[in-house]
Amino acid sequence: MDLSGWIDTYLDHLRVERGLSKNTLEAYALDLNQLAARVGEGARAEAVTEGDIAELLVWNTRRGYGARSSARQLSAVRGFFKFLMREKVVASDPCALIERPRLGRRLPKALGLEDVLRIVDKPDLSTARGLRDAAMLHLLYACGLRVTELCTLKLGDLDRQRGVVSVHGKGGKRRLVPVGEIALGLVDRYLEHVRPQWERASGSSRALFLTPRGPMTRQGFWKLIKRYARAAGVTLPVSPHKMRHSFATHLLQGGAALRAVQAMLGHADLGTTEIYTRIAQDHVRAAYKRSHPRA
């Protein structure tokens, strides 16, 4: 089997054995197929050298790849060759001596509370679309969900009695996240007044959030949140993931425990969550400077 064939086998392994999302698999496929294109059609996996991989990284840098993109690609290639070593296709890892590009610790950018509230309160609750949009925006911010997690929620994922939502996160992992009363109330109104009529029109019976044509998509929600941000007069760039950053930052600023925020975000590594403490500490320092007579 040539290199391209092993790449397809590896992607199948990631999909079946590790349950990676479609978007993650597409990113892996792009990174690995670039390697196959650089090495040449029909090349054997065992013929790939350290120089081939180094040339790929240099080539991508010339094309405008940043350190973060190069590091991601190197991580994908390393995972692939570790898989090939387990399968006894190659005897050694050609990535072993290649250094990972150095990354600056980039702080996530969060919105201020006032900006968030202006966005989530902007939909017109007197219309069906406005009620659905308000329910989605409030649930996104109340639970710190990723956009894919929000759009793939099923009816059975929401436990209205206990006030929690069961979220299907990265790697197929499930987590329970509490839902605030305001978000839960809006979801209840959407379920009672809007969803039944759209379910009949679209024929979809499992997705929690619908449009008249079927389930809400990631792309549809991206456009939706940007439209409400403009209407609310928020000048900073707004995305679903920035709302997730805002959720984590505002919780820590309010005194939430780091471990609790980690569990709600679904981070496997506490270090991923700890980056938000920098923002929370900046908030504390600013309050100190405003309030202390000798600051």
Which of 78, 109, 170, 283 is catalytic? The answer is 170
Query: What is the SS3 assignment for 277?
Result: helix
Nearest to 263 by CA among 180, 187, 178, 183: 178
Asked about 292 being catalytic, the answer comes back as no
- Rounded to an integer, what distance in angstroms lies between the CA atom of residue 74 and that of residue 98? 9
Measure the CA–CA gap between 144 and 265, rounded to whole angstroms: 6
Tell me whether residue 146 is one of the annotated catalytic residues. yes
Spot the catalytic one: 109, 118, 226, 241.
241
The one catalytic residue in 138, 242, 245, 267 is 267
168, 195, 242, 244: the catalytic one is 244
Beta carbons within 8 Å of 203's beta carbon, 6+ residues apart: 214
Enter the DSSP assignment of 42. T
78 counts as catalytic: no
Could you give the 3-state DSSP secondary structure of residue 209? coil
User: What are the start-end ranges of the E strands in the chain?
Assistant: 158-159, 164-168, 174-178, 210-211, 214-215
Tell me, yes or no, if 228 is annotated catalytic: no
> CB atoms < 10 A from the CB of 148, how many?
18
Which residues are CB-neighbours of 65 under 8 A, at least 6 positions away? 73
SS3 168: strand
Cβ–Cβ under 8 Å, residues 181 and 251: no
Could you confirm whether 276 is annotated as catalytic?
yes
Single out the catalytic residue among 132, 146, 168, 195. Answer: 146
Clarify whether 218 is annotated catalytic: no
Active-site residues: which are they?
A: 146, 170, 241, 244, 267, 276
